[in-house]
Amino acid sequence: MSCLLQYNTISNNNNIYIYKHPQSPFIHTLPGSWIPSLKSKARRMGGHDHVVWWMCVVVVLAMGDLVLGMAPRRPVAVPFGRNYVPTWAFDHIKYFNGGSEIQLVLDKYTGTGFQSKGSYLFGHFSMQIKMVPGDSAGTVTAFYLSSQNNEHDEIDFEFLGNRTGQPYILQTNVFTGGKGDREQRIYLWFDPTAAFHSYSVLWNMYQIVFFVDDVPIRVFKNSKDLGVRFPFNQPMKIYSSLWNADDWATRGGLEKTDWSKAPFVAAYKGFHVDGCESSVNTQFCATQGKRWWDQKEFQDLDAYQWRRLQWVRQKYTIYNYCTDRKRLPVMAPECKRDRDV
């Protein structure tokens, strides 16, 4: 343990440094806050900045941070018009800073929405959103991917508004082959109306991961071998909308939209798309295996991400279809693989 090993920095993502020894198959994570002291110790022992003290790596391994996965790359903020177009009620979309930020407006006449220009098979898709402030009961802000036919695939973020002082609810769902009924609901650990936060989807052949500010809040693994359909051959467009759903959104429809508080406004920026663009009829990704999100390290979450997901499930989950025996007497086969029970 008293030796120095040469480690190469292969990623510095979200202030977590990823190290891999050139003669080892293992990947190791180190918090960014450790790096200054590690570099100082390496220099004192005659090494250089790229030398990592082996004892510290052993400590990381002992903490369970030997990883198979990796966090997604940092999204790249681009103007709205690069990747998206309005779909309805164009006059209810407002543009700021050259289109780098937009607002969706809902009033008693209409909501509004937009969609991606392209269709995608797999990728990493992110949006920064600031939710409707104040009394937002009855409103829904949606960010989702969906294919175009009857037996459609869909990956949903739905943000359910609430009365002033009551927390937003984030509902996620996954449709495969037209079948959904996989709702999960959580409270967020921050006020989503006070500032922009990042909401993203990582989708490849192995898993779908929902992230909030780089924290995984849900995983849907490919369980085709268990008889569960997985979205892999239907390209999807990306959509977002702000609309009135007071027949179900808040307390099952008991809380109605207070139109005296209108207009309701949700703000967006970021508009990151990094996917395999396809025609709506393409059933495979031509770049499969060649993109960063399609590599082995993104086939599963790493140990740290699984612990973060468990933290969300224990502290913030308020509904999970996997544990609803009244609605689903037989638990869905994917639930154990997704570690939802």
pLDDT in tens, 263-286: 999 999 999 999 999 887 788 888
Q: Would you state the pLDDT for residue 47?
A: 52
How many residues in the chain? 341
Q: Would you state the pLDDT for residue 97?
A: 97
- d(Cα 169, Cα 329) in Å, to the nearest integer? 25
First to last CA, the chain: 39
Share of the chain above pLDDT 70, in %: 80
Structure tokens belonging to residue 261: 């508080």
Share of the chain above pLDDT 90, in %: 74
Confidence of residue 64 (pLDDT cuts 50, 70, 90): very low
Element (H, E) at 62: helix 54-62
What is the topology classification, in CATH, of domain 80-338? Jelly Rolls (2.60.120)
33-46 burial, b at 16+ Cβ within 10 Å, e below that, comes to: ebbeebbebbeeee
Reference 218, options 226, 204, 208; nearest CA is 208
Confidence of residue 305 (pLDDT cuts 50, 70, 90): very high
Q: Would you state the pLDDT for residue 286?
A: 82
Question: Is 101 an annotated catalytic residue?
Answer: no
Task: Please give the model's pTM, rounded to 2 decimal places.
Answer: 0.81
Q: Would you state the pLDDT for residue 69?
A: 78
Q: Would you state the pLDDT for residue 57?
A: 44
Confidence of residue 1 (pLDDT cuts 50, 70, 90): very low
Residue whose token pair is 């190791």: 28
Report the range of poorest mean pLDDT among 14-28, 87-101, 286-300, 315-329. 14-28
Identity (one letter) of the amino acid at 99?
A: G
Average pLDDT, the chain: 86
Read off the pLDDT of each residue in 319-326 and give the average, rounded to a whole number. Answer: 97
The 10 Å Cβ neighbour count of residue 220 is: 24
Read off the pLDDT of each residue in 293-307 and give the average, rounded to a whole number. Answer: 95
- d(Cα 171, Cα 160) in Å, to the nearest integer? 7
The predicted-structure confidence for 7-62, as pLDDT tens digits, reads as follows 444 444 444 444 444 443 344 455 555 556 555 655 555 555 444 444 444 344 33
Structure tokens belonging to residue 264: 């309701």
| List 158, 255, 277, 297, catalytic entry | 158
Question: Is 158 an annotated catalytic residue?
Answer: yes
3-class secondary structure, 2: coil
List the domain boundaries for the chain: 80-338
Residue 333: cis peptide before it, omega within 30 degrees of 0: no
Read off the pLDDT of each residue in 197-208 and give the average, rounded to a whole number. Answer: 97
The answer to whether 123 and 294 are in contact (CB under 8 A) is no
Give the DSSP per-residue string, 161-190.
--STTSPPEEEEEEEBTTB----EEEE-SS
| List 101, 154, 277, 334, catalytic entry | 154
